[in-house]
């Protein structure tokens, strides 16, 4: 399995509401449930959110993207990656889209995560993706 490193740092936000969100960015993960509204986006863009929109914000996240399109019938793809990183003591935050999964870890764990994934046999494109 091949992963790619995302170039930019990300922020994870807990929102009071969805006002002022730019959904036209290259990387914007937005989720709303009956309990919360969350947003994951490049940290530079998080800086532009209206202060009244953000309840909490966690900066300093780095990301990996699973390359290719993951069919819904595939089993254990994210679990396999999460297991490798858990054994290395790396906490993660995962986001799934229709076609693939993204794994985020805090900057201070990124080198350890990359090393663990490479040692486990994952091919990781380290030429960063993104702007």
128 phi-psi bin (left φ>0, alpha ψ -120 to 50, beta other): beta
How many domains are there within the chain?
1
Q: Give 6's contacts (C-beta < 8 A, 6+ positions apart).
A: 27, 62, 63, 64, 65, 102, 128, 129, 130
Domain span at 25: 2-129
For position 95, what pLDDT does the model report?
94
**Mean per-residue pLDDT of the chain:** 88
pLDDT digits (tens, 9 = 90+) for 29-51: 999 899 999 999 999 999 988 88
CATH number of the domain that residue 97 is part of = 3.30.2130.10
pTM of the model: 0.88
pLDDT band at 23 (very low <50, low <70, confident <90, very high): confident
Can you tell me the distance from the alpha carbon of 30 to that of 1, in angstroms, rounded to the nearest whole number? Answer: 26
């Amino acid at each position: 399995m091949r992963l790619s490193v995302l170039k930019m740092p990300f922020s994870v936000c807990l929102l009071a509401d969805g006002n002022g969100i730019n959904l036209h960015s290259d990387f914007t993960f937005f989720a709303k449930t009956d309990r919360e509204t969350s947003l994951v986006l490049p940290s530079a863009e998080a800086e532009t959110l209206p202060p009244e929109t953000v309840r909490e914000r966690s900066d300093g996240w780095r990301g990996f993207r699973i390359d290719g399109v993951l069919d819904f019938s595939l089993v254990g793809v994210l679990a396999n990656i999460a297991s490798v990183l858990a054994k290395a003591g790396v906490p993660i935050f995962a986001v799934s889209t229709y076609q693939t999964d993204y794994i985020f870890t805090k900057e201070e764990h990124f080198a350890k995560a990359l090393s663990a994934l490479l040692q486990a046999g994952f091919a990781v494109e380290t030429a960063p993706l993104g702007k």
